[in-house]
Each structure stands twice: as C-alpha cells, then as structure tokens.
Amino acid sequence: MQKVLAAAGIGSRRACEDLIFHRRVTVDGRVAQLGDKVDPTTAVIFVDGERLVTDTRLVYLAMNKPRGVVSTMADEKGRTALADFLDGRVEQRVYHVGRLDAESEGLLLLTNDGTLAHRLMHPSFGVMKTYLCEVPGPIPRNLGRRLTAGIELEDGPVKVDSFRVVDTLGRTAQVEITLHEGRKHIVRRLLEEVGHPVSRLVRTSIGPIRLGDLRLGRTRRLTHAEVAALFREVGD
C-alpha cells in the first residue's frame, strides 16, 4: 500500500507509512493497513478524505486553447487541432472534455479517464463553467437580473448562475458569465439574444479548475489536489 502511495507522489515511503498508521488512508471503503496489497489500476483510494488516482496510466491535463483551433484531437480537413499542441509529450491517447468552438479560446480539459470525462460533461452534474466575454457596451444595469432570471432561446430557456461587468473600455465591455449549461454556443447565443454579440470569448474555469496564468497554446498536468477536486465536483 505504501509503495502505491509513494508512486502516486504523496510523499516518501516513510511518510506514506505514517499516513496509513494514523488511519488517514482508505482503500475500497475500508481503513488501510500497513502491508495491504492493492492493485493501483482498480483500487479506490482516499487520503484525508480526498480521492487519489493511483493508476499511472491515467492523464489529466489543462490546455489554454488558442482562437482558430478546432476542438478535436485531429482534423481530417487539416485544420490546427488540439493534438498539435501536445508535441508528443503525452504518450497516452487523451480526449477533450467538452468543446470550445474554433473562434473561442481558453480552458479545455484533456484526459483518458472516460468515467470522469462523462460525469463532467453530463448535464445532471451541473458543472459550472466561467467565461470572460468582450461585447459592445455600455451594459444596462438590469442585464444581470435579466440573465439570472432567464432568457428564452430557440431551444429553450437558459439562466446564468452569475454575471458581472469586469471592465468597460470605450464602446467595448468585458463581462464574466458563469453557468452550468452545456448547449452548443450557449454563451454566444445568449448574449446575442440580449443585444450584446460576443467579439471574444475566453473560458476561464471548469468547476474547480482555473485557467490562471497558463500561456496560450500550452498544457499542464493537473495536480493531485485538482484531480481530487474534480472527483468531488461530480460526487465521487
């Protein structure tokens, strides 16, 4: 057991033994014991109540997708795609979790964990996503109330969970929208409907994962804490 924890990057083998000794580790629903034999590819392990992924074959990445890149790993039309930015640095075959249209940019998650990806995309889990948008200004004072109350679109009503004006630059405004809807082009269609068509859209967060200062076109591996937070987000 302690070898599996150490291989997952929790700490030295001695530190992992201390965690087990102090009953801070569970495996498959029971408190772990020193010397337990576990299969890291199938065991469900928690450390201090946080899910720990011990299967080293699983990969979790954050990407800052540039504008003009299609949300597919490879494109049969020869357009720039997501795999072009991995540059052979990831041996495993990964997939994108959800999409951003080609003209949008920002945070995308890539993984080969099909179960987690499915939960993150499924509407029943209501994973929040935040977008920074450039739109024509000025922004009416009541727009936030309208958007949180709900707007009727051609495929049904949509409500945002939060809305705020970030900045106003001449005739352009920056607004931030958070919502758990996943319908196609939902943010662009919503703002178009209320008279503020989007000229630039950047997704800045997916659930607990933030884009932060990740450079455009770059990827990074999620930390253990971030992966655990994603599992919490979808109830695991």
pLDDT at position 236: 67
Q: Is 99 in the same domain as 5?
A: no
User: In whole angstroms, what is the distance from residue 129 CA to residue 146 CA?
Assistant: 19
Could you tell me the residue range of the domain that residue 97 belongs to? 60-124+208-234
- Looking at the fold, whether 226 and 202 belong to one and the same domain comes out as no
pTM for the whole thing? 0.88
What residues does 51 pair with on adjacent strands? 46
| Cα–Cα distance for residue pair 33/42, rounded to 1 Å | 18
Based on the fold, state whether residues 173 and 152 are members of the same structural domain.
yes
Domain count for the chain: 3
Are 108 and 162 in a shared domain? Answer: no
Tell me: the pLDDT tens digits for 48-94? 988 888 888 899 999 999 999 999 988 888 899 999 988 777 878 89
77 and 8 in a common domain: no
Find the CATH number of the domain harbouring 8.
3.10.290.10
Closest Cα to residue 187, out of 138, 128, 111, 109? 128
10, 26, 52 - which closes a domain: 52
Q: Strands 105-111 and 200-206, how do they pair?
A: parallel
- Average confidence (pLDDT) over 91-106: 91
Number of continuous H segments (helices) and E segments (strands) in the chain: 6, 15
| Residues labelled as active-site residues | 101
The CATH code of the domain that includes 184 is 3.30.2350.10
**Cα gap 203→189, rounded to integer Å:** 15
CATH of the domain at 87: 3.30.70.580
- Whether residues 102 and 135 share a domain: the answer is no
The candidate with the shortest Cα–Cα distance to 52, out of 109, 1, 118, 124, is 1
